């Protein structure tokens, strides 16, 4: 086995093109797709050594695969993490990052403003296995503190949250978690690794849905869990190996190629989102505009402290509730109605009837998901074309 490409002096853009590349004996330019579930051994002795970890190498794609390993190495470089493990989807990453840390009798505290499936894992899935959970307003540091119990093992949050773009003080929550002897896991999908580094802010674990900006072109599902070698070895490595939510080598290859253009795309999408937010602020049909890059975001001071850039997402509250929101979405022509985000194509979502549909109106209000709220994921189209589409649609609300 050759050594994967690595040079700690490289800048981020260089790492995203070269980090982790491990060429086969054919010397291929582009990373190879190793579509194999297993590997063959020269002898019984070699096979034994692979299984008892005394010889490095690949065994079986449920544990590791050369293409998946290249993706993991590149993701670890992007995040500045010691270790990364890829999973089949973002939800597999969220579920494993939590289930790997807890057992029956433990307690988990999480922010209430979460992606719908993350809420399901916290509210319904973990309790089925005897894990107690408490949801708090993530912006209220006293609420995190008050939720701690002697059996608290893990904290979990998203910031900015999906879809209401609420910001949580990651460094402060990490301090509260550590004082309680608990860990902090951050779902960093909305900020992306370009604009926010939760591990630097004190988190113990970062998870992504790679389905979003990492693929960035709406093709494959994927997820990734990142942390220190100790965190990954203690909580993630064995459950991933033994329970099987592994990433397909094909999806890893797509994601690996996605990372080559990751910073170009996310920078451009963020710049366009920021231009669009500025152009739309104050529009009479928009009753509220939430964008983490703007000075009028209620948590602008915290954003300046913990994020290096805004977001490629904008939340808009359209006048006249659900009816107004639907009239707006139905009148869009370039921007498509869909539920993905971080895609090259700009996409609009109505969270109250889709991702957050199973909650009561009261629960949705607590999460900042009103009937008129739409989430705009800004893609790679020219921002002037996007603005023209939004304005003509608003005119028809």
Ligand X SMILES: *Cc1c(COP(=O)(O)O)cnc(C)c1O
Interface positions with ligand X (CB under 6 A):
89-91, 94, 115, 117-118, 158, 162, 187, 189, 209, 211-212, 221, 223
Instruction: Return d(Cα 193, Cα 216) in angstroms, integer.
Output: 13
Nearer to ligand X, 88 or 380 (CB): 88
Minimum CB separation of residue 237 from ligand X in Å reads 21
- Return the ∠ at Cα 65 (arms to 60 and 71), rounded to 5°: 155
Nearer to ligand X, 86 or 319 (CB): 86
Minimum CB separation of residue 311 from ligand X in Å reads 12
Contact 177, 155 (CB under 8 A): yes
CB-based contacts of 372: which residues, under 8 Å, 6+ apart?
Answer: 287, 317, 318, 319, 320, 321, 322, 324, 325
Nearer to ligand X, 92 or 174 (CB): 92
Residue 317, token pair as written in the block: 């509250």
* DSSP label of 248: P
The set of long-range contacts for 119-124, using a CB threshold of 8 Å and a minimum separation of 24, is 119/359, 121/91, 121/94, 121/95, 122/98, 122/156
Residue in the shown chain whose Cβ atom is closest to ligand X: 90
CB-based contacts of 25: which residues, under 8 Å, 6+ apart?
Answer: none
Please count the other Cβ atoms lying within 10 Å of the Cβ belonging to residue 271: 16
Minimum CB separation of residue 91 from ligand X in Å reads 4
Minimum CB separation of residue 187 from ligand X in Å reads 5
Describe the crossing of helices 383-395 and 262-280 by its angle, rounded to 10 degrees. Answer: 40
**Residue 185 bridge partners (DSSP):** 156, 205
CA distances from 47 to 39, 56, 231, 243 (A): 10, 11, 27, 22
Residue 126, token pair as written in the block: 């973990």
CA distances from 164 to 194, 202, 222, 254, 350 (A): 20, 24, 23, 30, 11
Nearer to ligand X, 87 or 183 (CB): 87
Examine residue 160 and say whether the peptide bond preceding it is cis (omega within 30 degrees of 0).
yes
The set of long-range contacts for 16-25, using a CB threshold of 8 Å and a minimum separation of 24, is 16/74, 16/77, 16/78, 16/259, 16/260, 16/261, 16/262, 16/263, 17/260, 19/73, 19/74, 19/77, 20/69, 20/70, 20/71, 20/72, 20/73, 20/74, 20/77, 20/256, 21/70, 22/66, 22/69, 22/70
Supply φ then ψ for residue 21, to 5 degrees.
Answer: -60, 125
Minimum CB separation of residue 339 from ligand X in Å reads 8
Nearer to ligand X, 94 or 332 (CB): 94
Nearer to ligand X, 90 or 383 (CB): 90
- Per DSSP bridges, beta strands 107-111 and 286-290 are unpaired
Minimum CB separation of residue 136 from ligand X in Å reads 18
Nearer to ligand X, 162 or 299 (CB): 162
Nearer to ligand X, 115 or 326 (CB): 115
Minimum CB separation of residue 388 from ligand X in Å reads 27
Nearer to ligand X, 210 or 319 (CB): 210
Nearer to ligand X, 76 or 189 (CB): 189
């Amino acid at each position: 086995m050759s050594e994967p490409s690595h040079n700690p002096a490289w800048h981020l853009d260089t790492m995203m093109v070269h980090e982790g590349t491990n060429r086969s004996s054919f010397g291929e330019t582009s990373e190879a797709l190793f579509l194999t579930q297993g590997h063959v051994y020269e002898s019984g002795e070699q096979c034994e050594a692979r299984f008892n970890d005394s010889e490095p190498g690949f065994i079986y794609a449920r544990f590791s695969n050369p293409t998946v390993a290249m993706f993991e190495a590149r993701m670890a470089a992007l995040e500045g993490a010691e270790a990364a493990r890829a999973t089949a989807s973002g939800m597999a990453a969220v579920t494993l990052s939590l289930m790997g840390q807890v057992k029956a009798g433990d307690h988990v505290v999480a922010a209430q403003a979460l992606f719908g499936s993350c809420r399901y894992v916290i509210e319904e899935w973990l309790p089925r296995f005897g894990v107690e959970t408490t949801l708090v307003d993530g912006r209220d540091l006293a609420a995190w503190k008050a939720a701690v119990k002697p059996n608290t093992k893990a904290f979990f949050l998203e910031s900015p949250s999906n879809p209401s773009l609420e910001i949580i003080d990651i460094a402060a929550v990490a301090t509260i978690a550590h004082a309680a002897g608990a860990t902090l896991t951050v779902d960093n999908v909305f900020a992306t690794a370009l604009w926010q580094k939760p591990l630097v802010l004190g988190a113990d674990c970062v998870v992504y849905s790679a389905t979003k900006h990492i693929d960035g072109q709406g093709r494959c599902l994927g997820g990734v869990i990142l942390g220190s070698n100790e965190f990954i070895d203690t909580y993630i490595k064995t459950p991933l190996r033994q329970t099987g939510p592994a990433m397909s080598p094909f999806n890893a290859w797509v994601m690996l190629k996605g990372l080559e253009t990751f910073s170009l795309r996310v920078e451009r999408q963020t710049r366009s989102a920021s231009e669009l937010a500025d152009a739309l602020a104050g529009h009479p049909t928009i009753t509220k505009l939430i964008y983490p890059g703007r000075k009028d975001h209620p948590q602008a001071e915290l954003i300046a402290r913990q994020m290096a850039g805004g977001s490629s997402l904008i939340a808009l509250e359209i006048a006249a509730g659900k009816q107004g929101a639907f009239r707006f979405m139905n009148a869009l022509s370039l921007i498509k109605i869909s539920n993905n985000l971080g895609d090259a194509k700009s996409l609009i979502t109505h969270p109250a009837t889709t991702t957050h549909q199973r909650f009561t109106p009261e629960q949705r209000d607590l999460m900042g998901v009103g009937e008129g709220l739409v989430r705009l994921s800004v893609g790679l189209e020219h921002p002037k074309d996007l603005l023209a589409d939004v304005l003509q649609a608003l005119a028809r609300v």
